[in-house]
Amino acid sequence: MPSVRALLAEVDERPIARRIAIPHDEARMSFPLRSNTVRDLDEFTDITASYVQHHYARCVALGGRLSRSQAAGRAKEILNQHMRRQGGDYVSAYQDAHDGVNGGMRTVLDVVCDSIKEEAIEYYMRDAFDRHMPPDDWHGRKEMVRQFIQHCGVALPGIDPTDPARYARDIESLIRAFIRGLRQMSAIFRRL
C-alpha cells in the first residue's frame, strides 16, 4: 500500500512552491507593462490576452500558445469570477485599469496570474492524490485518507475526520481544504 508519508512529501509547500508557484510568479514578473493604466477597453483586452498567452507559454503549455481569442476569453473568465466576489465584473476590472485605482493594470494581471497558479496547484495536488490513492483500490484509498486526515488534523478546515470514506471517493473537498490550510499556515508563519 502506498505511504501517506510519500504523499505528504509530494504535497508539501516547498516542492509546490519550487515546481509551480515560483515559475508562475516569475512569468508574471517577466511580463513588461508600459503603464499601469489603459486608454480603452480594446487596449485592456489586448494586454490581458497578451499576458495570458505569455503566462501559458511560460508555465502551462511550455512554449505552446493559446490563440488570441482563447487568451482573451480566459482572461475575461478569470476577471469576471474574481470581480463577482467583490460585486463587480470584467468591466469593473477594466475601469480599475483605466482609472489606475485599486492597483490598476498591475493588480489586474496579478489576479490573472494568481488564478492560473491556483489552478495549476490544484491540478498538481489532484494528480498527486490520484497516484498515491488509486481510484480502483477502495480500501487502500480509504485508509490513506484516514491517515492523511489524522496527520493533518487542524490543518484541514471544514473536514470531518470521523468519516474518511466520504473523502475517499471524491477527494476534491479534501484537496481544497488542504490548500486552504497550507495558505493559512503560511500566512501565520510569515507574520511571526
Domain ranges of the chain: 1-117, 133-192
pLDDT value of residue 191: 58
Q: Residue 71, exposed/middle/buried by CB under 10 A (0-12, 13-18, 19+)?
A: buried
pLDDT tens column, 151-190: 776 667 777 778 888 878 777 677 777 777 766 666 665 5
Q: At what angle do helices 104-132 and 172-191 cross, to 10 degrees?
A: 130
Better-scored residue on pLDDT, 57 or 175? 57
